[in-house]
Structure 1
Amino acid sequence: MAENTRRLTMPFFDVQKRLGLNLDHWMTIQSAEQPHKIPGRCHAFEKEWIECAHGIGGIRAEKECKIEFDDFVECLLRHKTMKRLSAIRRQRDKLIKEGKYTPPPHHLGKEDPRP
């Protein structure tokens, strides 16, 4: 019975194996060799975190490498960056509403189109 279940869950056609690709490795570790030799956006942060956490175990790494991990997660998800941009937009909109700031024409879409 277990073998029948395993057969049903196996892919019919393994594209990665057929083409010699390892997409799982590319998608989980940005520090790994990437297609076209272009490093991932958060390559440096992930590398620092992996170097810090390597060989010390999950529990110690959670405590000792928290700064590196937080930097890596921020690079991936950009929560703080989006929060900051939102605050900047709110401030800009507030100043426009109060009449203290006039955005340049190219920010309003009123600029003449370029050739």
Structure 2
Amino acid sequence: MSTTAQAQTEGLGFYGFRVRQAEGRSGLAVALQASHCGRPFRQASASLADLPEAAASGETRASRRDAMPFFDVQKRLGLNLDHWMTIQTAEQPHKIPGRCHAFEKEWIECAHGIGGTRAEKECKIEFDDFVECLLRQKTMKRLSDIRRQRDKLIKEGKYTPPPHHLGKEDPRP
């Protein structure tokens, strides 16, 4: 590691934030202190008063090195490549709503902000409606039952389907 890279990363904590130096302990040791449950403490970014180079240069904002780099490239470029695939209620490319748009919207509105565990119980009806709309299992079962009943009636001779259902209709010009 070069000396400039070491100088830049010196004093950075667990998540890349600057930490205060404790009595005789390095910044990394302070950042990696564990809470009573064993998880590391969250480290907030240091204030400008704690950063001597920022105070000396008279900066009014924290330097860009202090923040964790997170780039939403699609948002910066104004693109919407995959958001419409993950949630049907998002804006669609050709303004045509998805087949189950209404059911998904009801489920998301119900589950929003209450957490996964509560949402499983409280929004079960909305979620089941959404899944049925996507998979159509009950609809397919009902249609197969209707077809089975029709075939049974045809075998017994109680029902004769019209000719256009059998493909024996007169050809049209």
TM-score normalised according to structure 1 size: 0.81
* 1:12 lines up with 2:70 in the alignment: yes
Q: Which runs of 4+ in 1 moved over 4 A?
A: 2-21
Deviation at 1:42, TM superposition (A): 0.1
Partner of 2:169, secondary structure, is: coil
Separation of aligned partners in 1, 2:160 and 2:63: 66
Could you list the per-position Cα deviations for residues 60-83 of structure 1 after superposition, in whole angstroms to 9, with x for gaps in the alignment?
000000000000000000000000
Name the CA distance, whole Å, in 2 between partners of 1:114 and 1:6: 74
User: SS of the residue aligned with 1:39?
Assistant: coil
SS in 2 for 1:3: coil
Deviation at 1:95, TM superposition (A): 0.2
SS state at 1:4 partner: coil
Q: Deviations over 1:56-115 (max 9, x none)?
A: 000000000000000000000000000000000000000000000000111000012222
What runs of 5+ residues in structure 1 fail to find an aligned partner? none
Q: What is the count of residue pairs matched by the alignment?
A: 114
Measured on the aligned residues, the alpha-carbon RMSD in Å equals 6.9
**Which among 19, 28, 44 is matched to residue 102 of structure 2?**
44
CA 1:5–1:50: 2 relative to 1, 3 Å: same
Distance 2:70 2:121 in 1: 43
Q: Structure 2, unaligned stretches of length 5 or more?
A: 1-59
Q: Percent identity?
A: 91
Q: Whose relative contact order is higher, 1 or 2, with alpha carbons under 8 Å and at least 6 apart?
A: 1
Name which of structure 1's ranges 30-39 and 69-78 shifts more when overlaid on structure 2: 30-39
TM-score, with normalisation over the residues of structure 2?
Answer: 0.54
Task: Identify if the C-alpha distance between structure 1 residues 109 and 15 changes in structure 2 by more than 3 Å, giving closer, same or farther.
Answer: farther
The structure with the largest helix share of the pair is 1
Structure 1 residue 5: Cα displacement: 30
Shift of 1:24: 2.4
